[in-house]
A = this chain, B = another copy of it.
């Protein structure tokens, strides 16, 4: 089994070798630009990993892996317009560096380029692979739409929230693993189980992210602690708190959410205090644990040798046990 870091490095090299036409420059330069900004290349690495675990040819899985990375960056390019984000990973976003029209149209072409790469699979799995890719891509768009809708909704249920993060973040992990498994000649049942592993792990990971935003070590977390609180982001913690807190705590939470000017540190401290009293961290950790267990349960049922399962368990542990 190849190490995850080696697969990530292989992806990084292959992404650099992706070449697009020089003309029209405004259409293709942004694609090379956003792909060059980097990231952990986790999604394509998962595709290669799945292929490798089932004894498939990792090199043959490279184009579909790149498809997942190009697709992911298409969603980032369009999401950044929608979120009005000026910076991604320390670099100007495409709509900032060029303009919004360029970001719309380059993103559109990236989605098509994703299909072109995804089609580079054996004839006997082409239709199946594209079906999974379509379903994944639609899911991500639905998740992004729900995320935007929730921002202005006052009454989101936990189930709706979990469904949103499943679509926006988790299905693409499941899709990448499933496609990789099929390229590695896994049977449909094992591919499906590996996808379940990925989806549930993805949900657990996103819940952990919600927890870390409030309770994480700012150095290890790598983000500003309390950023979600400051921006009123509808996380698991906030949704749960809004359901649980009563009386003066509820009024105070509502006040902090509706304030347009406030001291950031003061808001983070006050809202965290309310979260603590309502014990929402525990609820979130229990939920995260429940999804992690679902992931491990799917893993147990896969027809793979024990050392391959251990590899996947170690991977999941590495993803989930980030120090607080």
Chain A residues engaging chain B, CB cutoff 8 angstroms: 24, 26-27, 78, 81-82, 101-102, 104-105, 107-109, 111-113, 115-116, 119, 123, 126-127, 130-131, 134, 137-138, 141-142, 144-146, 148-149
Contacts and interface: CB of A to CB of B under 8 A. Distances in A.
A105 B127 contact: no
B145 A105 contact: yes
Contacts of A131: 119
Contacts of A109: 138, 141-142
Contacts of A101: 81-82, 148
Contacts of A148: 26, 101, 105
B105 A134 contact: no
Contacts of A104: 78, 81-82, 104
B141 A116 contact: no
A108 B78 contact: yes
A123 B142 CA distance: 29
A79 to B, nearest CB: 9
Contact of A119 (B113, B123, B130, B145): B130
Contacts of A82: 101, 104-105
